[in-house]
Amino acid sequence: MIYICQGLVVQNFKNPPSLEEKHMGLREKFDEKIKRKEQEIQEHENKIREAKAYIQALQDTIKLLPKEDESASFQVKKLRPGSAVYKTMMLLKKTGKPIHINEILKALGKTTSKKDRISLGGSLGWYVRKNEIFTRPEPNTFGLIAFEKSEEPPEDFGIDHKEIIE
């Protein structure tokens, strides 16, 4: 190569890169790109492996939980339709909250006599002791197990009551 600088002719004595040298630089660039892509693939494979492990953990957790649909239908089959216990379960489902035994008896059209309280309370208590269908959150107050399993936050969850007042 020849360069002209301020009227002087300067010759570049350095030999131009040979075709082989050009290919070596190009080969190194391709090797670098290949290495980067392989690293990217490895990172993605790690993410996939982590995601699969997460899914497996969720599936294992689901296996530990009781099957809600089956348990609910099993509970209804277990109670004889028309019985006081069955009617109590339906009443509790309808109201959606635990009810005192006297209120249950009134809703079923029975008297609140000691005999009726002991009879229905004993039947419901049997299910409570077996931890099936019914719960006893307070003395002589019965609810459904489904009420306790509710994991939804309260309606005012996250609301700052101080802001509302001000």
The pLDDT, as a whole number, for residue 40 is: 96
The enclosing H or E element of 43 equals helix 19-64
Sequence spans of domains, the chain: 17-65, 68-148
Quickly name the fold that domain 68-148 has: Arc Repressor Mutant, subunit A (1.10.10)
- The helix, strand and coil proportions of the chain, stated in percent and rounded to the nearest 5, come to 60, 10, 30
Tens of pLDDT along 35-88?
999 999 999 999 999 999 999 988 888 888 776 655 444 455 578 888 999 999
The pLDDT, as a whole number, for residue 138 is: 92
- Report percent pLDDT > 70 for the chain: 67
Q: Which residues pair with 141 in a beta bridge?
A: 100, 138
Look up tokens 């007042």; give the residue.
165
- Report percent pLDDT > 90 for the chain: 50
The pLDDT, as a whole number, for residue 27 is: 85
**Pick the residue with more confidence: 4 or 65?**
65
The pLDDT, as a whole number, for residue 164 is: 53
The pLDDT, as a whole number, for residue 32 is: 92
Stretch 133-155: mean pLDDT? 80
Write down the pTM of the prediction. 0.46
Q: What is the mean pLDDT of the chain?
A: 80
CA pair distance 94, 105, nearest whole angstrom: 15
